[in-house]
Structure 1
Amino acid sequence: MVEQTVATKIAFIGLGRMGLPMAVNLVSAGYQVTGYDRSKEACAAFAAKGGTAADSARAAANGAEIVITMLPTSGIVASCLVGEENALADVAPGALVIDMSSSVPADTLKLAEELKARGLSLVDAPVSGGVGKAIDGTLAIMVGGEAGDAARAEPVLKAMGDRIFLAGKLGAGHVIKVLNNYVSAAGALAAVEALIVGREFGLDEDVITDILNASTGRNNTTENKVKKFILSGAFNSGFDLALMSKDIGIAAGLAGDLGLDMKLLSRTSQEWNAATEELPAGADHTEIYRYVDGGSRRG
């Protein structure tokens, strides 16, 4: 096991709505963090919080002992690290890469082989909890990888989350992340359908929500999203509908690769894909309510 200290040099690539507060928490923990994002505004925001901003992914990772990615897709992760941007060209010997994105497990395994040839290690460590928990450092983090690599990553991960789970072998973190989002997305569909059916019968949607939350039908959507983001009309939870759809699609693809016919998973993926196509680009995932509501009237 390699001991980590706050002197560890970290590169954090991807300073979006989740990545920025996560990187800031690493700075607050005393790590030397250089961040990069294609958004100049995000880089400026990171610098304003005490981090060091670089003008490229490769510059951010120069000399880094740990490189963290928090990017939209596994394709972008690979392009950034070993493709066009070649961010890993100048990292410290034996550096550890922690992919905290929501990636395709097969892509993660392929990337690990490329990194191994360079003498580098990889763990996958996607997160759950949303922007609020990213800000206060209480994310749930699901780690896949060899035990020694996971142990090496753990002190760094503890600066961003308070529940660190060793999910299993490399890729396991990404698998459980997309399965979690599938379960969450299926629950969201059920919740908004219940609201709409009850509303059309004449029930108050606030009352419906209160009863669900006092009963066995409660779930993450009913407890944390319906009143705050849906019934309020805010639709600004901070997680894009397209990203939720992507994760469910990864889960459905994995089931297919394993020779499994998961009917509800397939149906859920179809519904979220359709919502992504129908709603405006950048729609929040809580806008699934708008899609279901409109569909119930069209159908």
Structure 2
Amino acid sequence: MANPTQTIVAFIGLGVMGLPMAKRLLAGGFDVVATDLSADAMEAFVEADGRTAKNIVEVAPVTDFVITMLPNGQIVRDALLGDMGFAMSLRTDTLIIAMSSSAPLETRGLREDLKILGLDLIDAPVSGGARRAEDGSLAIMVGGAPAMIEKARPLLKAMGSTVTATGEIGSGHAAKALNNYVSAAGLQAACEAILIGREFGIDPNVLTDVLNLSTGKNHSTEVKLKPFIIPENFTSGFAMALMAKDIETAASLARQLGKPEPGLEHAAALWKESLERVGKAADHTEIYSYLKVARQDR
């Protein structure tokens, strides 16, 4: 078990999710040294009384855990094993925790390459968005050896309210991608229902109440329709680019397993086209705007 006051955590990636997660580790008493390409992000972490390093290799020999919160698995691989990678500078008892979304089979390959260096890896992607990252209530799904998951549990509990072991390495990333597919399908269905109901003359707020009192209730109907979609402010805090990436990750996994699913393929195509139309900076709730325009064009 990790002792917070004596545990040094190297945290790589202080983005929208990474910065509040690193702050939660600080609040839990861990000694966190963070790095990011953004000088503003580094400064924000220093203002929270955290330590930063332009080159994380500086602290590699004394690091107990490495957490990566980076855009994709290739960037994680480059950070650890690329030309500027620092994995070879780590002690063999250092545990690496990959917490952003990545392709599950690539995660398995990365672990095999790290094993050559005597290092272990678990994948622990999160669900909940920036707001839950800030209050430490993320849902965390973890793949890897049970002993390594238990070793990391104190850190994970500092960032999330639930930690669910999902199986072998890569299963956390698979579960995250599949979760987001189901979430996206529920959001798409809710948006389409609102659009059809509006056309028929049903107040969207009333229809939302009906859904939430009936079997149509899902996460999107409960927490996204009234605050973000019906008023069309689209400020939920989770990017469409990330949602589209996760859905494609799920679809790609199904293809690699030789079992593509038609609903998943359709969703991947829909979110890809939506992303191209509304732009990478868009919130994922702007799928409503895309569906609205597409409906008008028909």
Establish whether TM, by shorter chain, passes 0.5.
Answer: yes
Q: Counterpart of 2:167? A: 168
Deviation at 1:69, TM superposition (A): 0.5
Q: Counterpart of 1:63? A: 62
CA distance 1:225–1:89, change in 2 (3 Å): same
CA distance 1:175–1:20, change in 2 (3 Å): same
Deviation at 1:61, TM superposition (A): 4.1
Deviation at 1:62, TM superposition (A): 5.1
Q: Counterpart of 1:297? A: 296
> Structure 1 regions of 5+ residues with no counterpart?
none
Instruction: Please report the RMSD computed on the Cα atoms of aligned residues, expressed in angstroms.
Output: 1.2
Determine if contact 1:10/1:61 at 8 Å carries over to the other structure.
no
Give distance in 2, aligned partners of 1:187 and 1:280: 22
Deviation at 1:84, TM superposition (A): 3.4
Determine if contact 2:97/2:124 at 8 Å carries over to the other structure.
yes
Give distance in 1, aligned partners of 2:293 and 2:59: 45
Q: Counterpart of 1:230? A: 229
1:184 is aligned to 2:206: no
Determine if contact 1:12/1:34 at 8 Å carries over to the other structure.
yes
85-94 or 134-143, larger mean C-alpha shift: 85-94
Q: Counterpart of 1:147? A: 146
CA distance 1:60–1:247, change in 2 (3 Å): farther
Determine if contact 2:73/2:107 at 8 Å carries over to the other structure.
yes
With structure 2 as the length reference, what TM-score do the two structures score?
0.96
Deviation at 1:87, TM superposition (A): 3.0
Question: What percent of counterpart residues are identical?
Answer: 47
Deviation at 1:25, TM superposition (A): 0.7
Aligned residue identity for 1:279: V
Aligned residue identity for 1:12: F
**Cα-to-partner distance string for 1:213-263 (whole Å, 9 max, x where unaligned):** 111111111111111111222212111101101100010111111121311
1:4 is aligned to 2:2: yes
Give distance in 1, aligned partners of 2:27 and 2:93: 25
Deviation at 1:197, TM superposition (A): 0.5
Deviation at 1:81, TM superposition (A): 1.3
Q: Counterpart of 2:75? A: 76
CA distance 1:204–1:34, change in 2 (3 Å): same
Aligned residue identity for 2:95: L
Q: Following superposition of structure 1 onto structure 2, how do residues 24-103 of structure 1 map, counting pairs within 5 Å?
A: 24-59=23-58, 61=60, 63-103=62-102
Determine if contact 1:178/1:247 at 8 Å carries over to the other structure.
yes
Q: Counterpart of 2:250? A: 251
Aligned residue identity for 2:234: F
Give distance in 2, aligned partners of 1:260 and 1:67: 34
> Structure 2 regions of 5+ residues with no counterpart?
none
